[in-house]
Copies of this chain bind each other. A is one copy, B any other.
Amino acid sequence: MENFVFQSPTRIIFGKGAEAEVGKETKKFTKKVLLHYGGQSIKKYGLYDKVIKSLKAENIDIFELGGVKPNPRLDLVYEGIKICRDNNIDFMLAVGGGSTIDSAKAIAVGVKYEGDVWDFYTSDKKAKKFLPVGVVLTIPAAGSESSNGSVITKEKGQLKKAYVDENIRPVFAILDPELTFTLPKEQTLNGISDIFAHGLERYFTNAQNVDFSDRLIEGAFKSLIKNTYIVLDKPLDYAARAEIMWIGLLIHNGVFGMGRIEDWGSHMIEHEISAIYDIAHGAGLSIIFPAWMQYVYKHDINRFAQFAVRVFGAETYYGDEERTALEGIKRLKNFFKEVGLPVSLEDVNIPETHLKEMSRKCAGSGEIGNFVKLDEKDVLSILKLAVKQ
């Protein structure tokens, strides 16, 4: 196990009707918020009204900025920063999924910074001052509700970049599984793929003697698989929605990665796809991961065999660990396909036109990943493996 420092102070309020607490939780920090959200769905299903009511009951002044899109845009972040500065707003309230939360985090970092907030996403520079961010989560996927990361897209140049900083963990996260009942099937699945990927990035590690956290991640995978089938069958199953929501938070708040060396190569490859094609991050991940696994499994066949057996209940072929290992990759791919996630670029109609460009943007200026270090050529090979099923 590697040395580590871990602190995740986000206050998690979880359960039916939890969104009614948003006013009380917000009031602990401020009397004035910028309410940040995406499209019309939070209005359509009544969440917007509930949030406003709860905030008003605590006499909190509300400014608003809607319009966050998947793969959230830098331009909207600039707009949010301006609104906060013009009105002395000192608290960001994100109501939505990962894109809205990431956008709120970017605004929270930018408000007190004299330069361009994009600096933090494109260099090692760290912010010094932050607005606190509160969250009402509507899509279990990104884990941003308690994580230390934010991913923003700059349309000009099709750049999608991440900023990681312990200080941007939200101060509270409100999770009501009922809010996810109305998610379209595709969005539910993209979320599940993202959650799975957050486990995989941590699972495939070169750190030795991490049996406990191996088992935590494996447990998350097993429960995620089980509950995916349940929600596909019964979208209004509270218990299954709750499990998925709780897994989505814990698998990405950092605790399962402690003592490990995480990978994150596949995420970086996916970012290049969705920067150009604007497909959902989760869809990109279910395409890239099986290809990545196929490309790197020989680096640690035993770990892949353990994954196959413990997560998917595959047979152990004693003396032929490679066969066991490959069985795990096959089963993960089959799981994605069976539930309706894409597993190839062809599945989402992405041609081979930009593979070289993506590889260059991804690894042209340095290797990515940790489990296996990948250069531009490796990334291209993985993308090629991902072309067809």
Contact = CB atoms under 8 A, between A and B. Distances in A.
Given A5-B14, A6-B12, A212 B220 contact: yes
Given A216-B219, A255-B250, A259-B246, A239 B209 contact: yes
A318 to B, nearest CB: 17
Interface in A1-30: 1-16, 18
Contacts of A1: 15, 239, 242-243, 246
Contacts of A227: 211
A8 B12 CA distance: 10
A218 interface: yes
Contacts of A3: 14-16, 18
A219 B212 contact: yes
A211 B246 CA distance: 11
Contacts of A243: 1, 209, 211-212
B259 A209 contact: no
A148 to B, nearest CB: 13
Copies in the complex: 2
A3 B255 CA distance: 21
A258 interface: yes
B218 A212 contact: no
Nearest to A244: B212
A105 to B, nearest CB: 19
A222 interface: yes
A240 B209 CA distance: 8
A259 B13 CA distance: 11
B16 A5 contact: no
A6 B15 CA distance: 11
Interface string A322-340: 0000000000000000000
A2 B239 CA distance: 9
A255 to B, nearest CB: 7
A247 interface: yes
Question: What are the 8 closest A-B residue pairs judged by CB atoms, nearest first?
Answer: A3-B15, A215-B219, A209-B239, A9-B9, A212-B223, A7-B11, A1-B242, A6-B12
Given A6-B12, A7-B10, 13 more contacts: A1-B243, A4-B15, A5-B12, A9-B9, A14-B258, A208-B239, A209-B243, A211-B243, A212-B220, A215-B222, A216-B219, A216-B220, A219-B219
